[in-house]
Amino acid sequence: MNKVVFVCLGNICRSPMAEFIMKALDQDGSLHIESRATSSWEHGNPVHQGTQKILRKYAVSFDSSKGSQQISQSDFEFFDLIVGMDESNVEDLLQVSAGRYDDKIKLFRPGGVPDPWYTGDFEETYNLVTAACQDWLQWIRDRQ
């Protein structure tokens, strides 16, 4: 269980934040970590400036050339863990999975992560995402 994808609506705010925080926490690089969108709305667009700013503030390195990518059928097959950042992301993922990959689909944290696209509060998102990524890393390590 080492291939993890974080999924949010646009793949520009929350899921890339989780991707890069998780990569920073996974110091030995034992995990394959990516992020995706449930929608194609932001296709090809870069990580949101608010997410870039908060990652720089906390010295979390990120790929500034990353563009938003909608989750595909091959992603459902490839990844071991498909983590929706909120309940509606999980609902959308379960709908696309149509029973085939349901066991891989998880909610990132109880209550989900509020979307800073709407709240504007990237600091709150950063704190929630960091704490939950630490929990996920432990959860994965416990199963390896």
Cα gap 43→30, rounded to integer Å:
28
Contact between 36 and ligand 4NP (CB under 6 A)?
no
Please say if 14 is a catalytic residue: yes
Contact between 93 and ligand 4NP (CB under 6 A)?
no
Cα gap 139→67, rounded to integer Å:
28
Nearer to ligand 4NP, 19 or 115 (CB): 115
- Of these residues, 75, 86, 92, 115, which one is catalytic? 115
Amino acid at residue number 106: K
Where are the extended beta strands (E) located within 1-144?
3-8, 32-37, 81-84, 105-107
Cα gap 101→141, rounded to integer Å:
22
Contact between 117 and ligand 4NP (CB under 6 A)?
yes
Q: Which of 11-19, 58-66, 75-83, 134-142 is the region at the interface with ligand 4NP (rule: CB under 6 A)?
A: 11-19
Contact between 19 and ligand 4NP (CB under 6 A)?
no
Nearest to 113 by CA among 123, 125, 122: 125
When binding is defined by CB under 6 A, the residue of 8, 33, 82, 129 that contacts ligand 4NP is 8
Please say if 115 is a catalytic residue: yes
Catalytic residues: 8, 14, 115
